[in-house]
Amino acid sequence: MFFPKKNIGWGRYIKEEQGFVLVLTLMLISLMSVLAVTSFELVTSTTRITSNHKLYLQALYVADAGVEDTLCVLSKADWGSLVFDPETPSSLATLSLGDIDVNWTWDNVNNNWSLSKSDLGGTYTVTLTMDAGDAGDTSDDRLVLESTGTISGFTKVIVAEIGKVPSTKITLWMEKEI
């Protein structure tokens, strides 16, 4: 083996470069830390958005359950016995509906019926207001239904108009912005 007797400067080169790898390593670790924190924030934000959207949809479905429950009651009701006059309204509570539990209450101040139920993990409140339409013409009598679904602080409102001719059906259905 041949070893040169003369120092070609390797020692001097290594002395000048001491600490460079340490600085480079610290920069890479800092960059990786920033990327990790950013990724964690992104995942957390996406999870929160997904959870809020799920609760929004659940509130909408609870409000829709109020509409469907009301339609079920009204489909069994005798529309001929409903009086569309706010002065002497028919009582939904006294309609003969068989085995369906009806707990509608009449509000004399607002001239509407209301019903609240806690169901499906949330609560819905339904209000029914009579709209008599043209005087003397009972074919355009309708009920305006407003169902408010609430779950975990999220609230959605559905407004529907229910007509009676030829059978009970929704003639308008829309979400109401709060």
Segment 52-100, tens digit of pLDDT: 999 999 999 999 988 888 887 777 766 666 665 656 655 565 554 555 5
On whether residue 125 sits in a domain, the answer given is yes
Tell me how many domains the chain contains.
1
Strands 112-119 and 105-107: antiparallel
Q: List, in sequence order, every residue forming a beta bridge with 154; answer none if it has no partner.
A: 151
- Please report whether residue 134 resides in a domain: yes
Report the Cα 30 to chain-centroid distance in Å. 41
Sign of CA dihedral 162, 100, 110, 175: negative
Q: Report if residue 111 sits inside a domain.
A: yes
User: Mean of the pLDDT values across residues 26-43?
Assistant: 96
Higher pLDDT, 97 or 20: 20
Confidence of residue 7 (pLDDT cuts 50, 70, 90): low
Bigger pLDDT: 11 vs 131: 131
Q: List CB contacts of 176: < 8 A, sequence separation 6 or more.
A: 146, 157, 158, 159
Q: What is the pTM of this model?
A: 0.68
- Specify if 3 maps to a domain: no
Q: Is residue 33 predicted with pLDDT exceeding 90?
A: yes
Residue 14 lies in a domain: no
Position 8 in a domain? no
* 16 falls within a domain: no
pLDDT of residue 153: 86
Q: Does residue 10 sit within a domain?
A: no
Q: Is 114 helix (H, G, I), strand (E, B) or coil?
A: strand
Q: Note down the domain range covering 66.
A: 39-176
Residue 74 has what pLDDT?
Answer: 75
**Reported confidence tier of residue 22, pLDDT bands at 50, 70, 90:** confident
